[in-house]
């Protein structure tokens, strides 16, 4: 069973961490930057806020600890020293590790398997909060502010966390994030769209394969951003709400009134093995706005009803892909896959064990965004291990919920020392009686 993937990832992180900028002088340099960064990352990988204190206690009692054997931390720094030292380090110093992840996922064949309709690769964009506080003492120059009617102010950090998604895959592949700062504006749409434009300009060449489609919610379905997407040689497939696009909606209604709106009906089995009716409608080359230079887009809609005729789902999308009866169902399925960035990425990061919104450390400069980056990397590395480490995959499948896996990981590494990741995986399989330790039932 391949357990080398974990060791390779840690070695790559140590190499990158060793080159992080270090502003310390004199006696403060007793811990090197690699140890400091790896110690912080270990907390996110194990999702154990007390991991370092447990390992310090183990080191004192037994002269060995899991921080060293698993994460290559030679000397464990204090939590405060980690926060103080990492605060000046901008998160982009770790971004090359997302590229390492991307290449690793590509080598597994997953990225090619995830290609959807029109053989396109789907990249979903969405913004999420990763820190918030109403305390005046916990804020920094990079905080955004939300003023409440009752006079209170919430200071928060948010980021766009792009992921590769596919309708037929539960995994999502994380890409370099883009952090939203006060320069992006005070209105949510301005903040998110400006950051998305910046991400596109910075990373279109890095992630472009010549056939890529950006997915996004209704915030993205506006002419300036759609033009930017096309200028960077990407396709787009965005949710399009009738209320926010009245001119386009009036065109669609006009086409429907004269019978010029193609449609397709399908009877399929949905959740619970129940029959559903899927009705698609579409139109090509309709103006997105009422301006003279309006971008012509292609529009499609899906309405799902049950056997009794009750509407269970309704949504519409705009795209630059030409829509036909042959591809409309696939395009809608691709558009609906946007939800995976919330369900399989942001929601998992917030509620399934990674505690993305927990204040692990705010700092005055970059600490909050740097630690969030480590959390995103930890999530990506767990996903990669699920693909490449057979032992890990078997254990995860057996214990079920991510939070349960983290509970086991926290308990074992607190009380027992493991010489390697392989030994840890081996003991977990032995305890669960799976893999080579499966009990033969008579």
Q: Where are the domains of the chain?
A: 4-92+364-437, 120-348
**Distance from C-alpha of 127 to C-alpha of 140, rounded to nearest angstrom:** 20
For residue 267, what are the β-bridge partners?
277
What's the angle, vertex CA 412, arms to CA 411 and CA 415, rounded to 5?
A: 85
Of the pLDDT bands very low, low, confident and very high (cuts 50, 70, 90), residue 278 is very high
CA 395 to chain CA centroid, nearest Å: 23
Q: HEC states along 360-418?
A: CCCCCCCHHHHHHHHHHHHHHHHHHHHHHCHHHHHHHHHHCCHHHHHHHHHHHHHHCCC
In words, the CATH class of domain 120-348 is alpha beta
**Distance from C-alpha of 40 to C-alpha of 52, rounded to nearest angstrom:** 9
**Strands, sheet with 296-306, edge to edge from the N-terminal-most edge strand:** 173-174, 163-165, 121-124, 212-216, 235-239, 311-319, 296-306, 275-287, 263-269
pLDDT digits (tens, 9 = 90+) for 408-429: 999 999 999 999 999 999 999 9
Side-chain-side CA neighbours of 412 within 13 Å: the count stands at: 22
Question: Under a CB-based contact definition with an 8 Å cutoff, are residues 131 and 357 in contact?
Answer: yes
pLDDT digits (tens, 9 = 90+) for 319-342: 999 999 999 999 999 999 988 766
pLDDT digits (tens, 9 = 90+) for 59-80: 999 999 999 999 999 999 999 9
| pTM for the structure as a whole | 0.91
Mean pLDDT calculated for residue range 379-397: 93
Residue 2 is predicted with a pLDDT of 53
Side-chain-side CA neighbours of 221 within 13 Å: the count stands at: 26
Residue 308 is predicted with a pLDDT of 87
pLDDT digits (tens, 9 = 90+) for 154-195: 778 889 999 999 998 988 999 999 999 876 555 554 588 999
Report helix, strand or coil for 269.
strand
Q: How far apart are the first and last CA of the chain?
A: 27
The CB density around residue 375, as the number of other CB atoms within 10 Å, is: 22
pLDDT over threshold 50, residue 1: no
> Which contacts of 357-361 are long-range, i.e. CB under 8 A and separated by 24 or more positions?
357/129, 357/130, 357/131, 357/132, 359/131, 359/133, 359/138, 360/43, 360/44, 360/49, 361/79, 361/82, 361/83, 361/86
pLDDT over threshold 90, residue 92: yes
Of the pLDDT bands very low, low, confident and very high (cuts 50, 70, 90), residue 27 is confident
**Distance from C-alpha of 419 to C-alpha of 423, rounded to nearest angstrom:** 6
């Amino acid at each position: 069973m391949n357990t080398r993937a974990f060791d390779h990832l840690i070695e790559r992180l140590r190499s990158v961490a060793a080159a992080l900028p270090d502003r310390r002088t004199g006696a403060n340099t007793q811990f090197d930057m690699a140890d400091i960064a790896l110690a912080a990352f270990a907390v996110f990988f194990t999702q154990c806020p007390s991991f370092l204190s447990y390992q310090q206690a183990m080191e004192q009692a037994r002269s060995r600890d899991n921080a060293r054997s698993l994460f290559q931390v030679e000397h464990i720094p204090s939590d405060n020293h980690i926060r103080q030292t990492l605060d000046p380090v901008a998160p982009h110093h770790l971004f090359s590790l997302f590229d390492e992840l991307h290449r690793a996922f590509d080598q597994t064949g997953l990225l090619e398997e995830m290609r959807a309709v029109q053989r396109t690769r789907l990249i979903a964009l969405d913004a999420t909060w990763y820190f918030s506080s109403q305390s005046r003492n916990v804020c920094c120059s990079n905080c955004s502010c939300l003023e409440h009617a009752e006079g209170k102010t919430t200071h928060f950090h948010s980021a766009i966390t792009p992921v590769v998604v596919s309708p037929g895959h539960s995994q999502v592949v994380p890409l370099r994030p883009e952090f939203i700062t006060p320069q992006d504006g005070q209105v949510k749409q301005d903040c998110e769209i400006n950051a998305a434009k910046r991400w596109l300009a910075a990373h279109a060449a890095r992630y472009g394969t010549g056939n890529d489609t950006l997915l996004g919610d209704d915030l993205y379905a506006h002419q300036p951003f759609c033009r930017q997407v096309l200028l960077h040689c990407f396709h787009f497939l965005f949710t399009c709400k009738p209320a926010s696009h009245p001119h386009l909606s009036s065109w669609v209604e006009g086409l429907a009134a004269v019978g010029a709106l193609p449609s397709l009906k399908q009877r399929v089995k949905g959740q619970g093995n129940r029959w559903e009716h899927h009705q698609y409608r579409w139109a090509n080359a309709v103006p997105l706005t009422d301006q003279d230079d309006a971008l012509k887009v292609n529009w499609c809609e899906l309405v799902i009803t049950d056997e009794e005729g009750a509407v269970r789902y309704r949504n519409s999308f705009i795209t630059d892909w030409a829509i036909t009866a042959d591809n409309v169902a696939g395009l809608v399925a691709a558009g609906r896959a946007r939800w995976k960035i919330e369900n399989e990425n942001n929601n998992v990061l917030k509620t399934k064990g990674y505690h993305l919104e927990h204040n692990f450390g705010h700092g005055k400069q970059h600490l909050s965004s740097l630690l969030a980056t480590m959390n995103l990397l930890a999530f990506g590395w767990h996903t990669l291990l699920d693909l490449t480490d057979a032992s890990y995959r078997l254990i995860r499948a057996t214990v079920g919920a991510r939070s349960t896996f983290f509970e086991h990981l926290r308990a074992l590494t607190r009380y027992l020392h493991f010489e390697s990741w392989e030994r840890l995986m081996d003991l977990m399989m032995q305890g669960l009686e799976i893999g080579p330790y499966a009990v033969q039932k008579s």
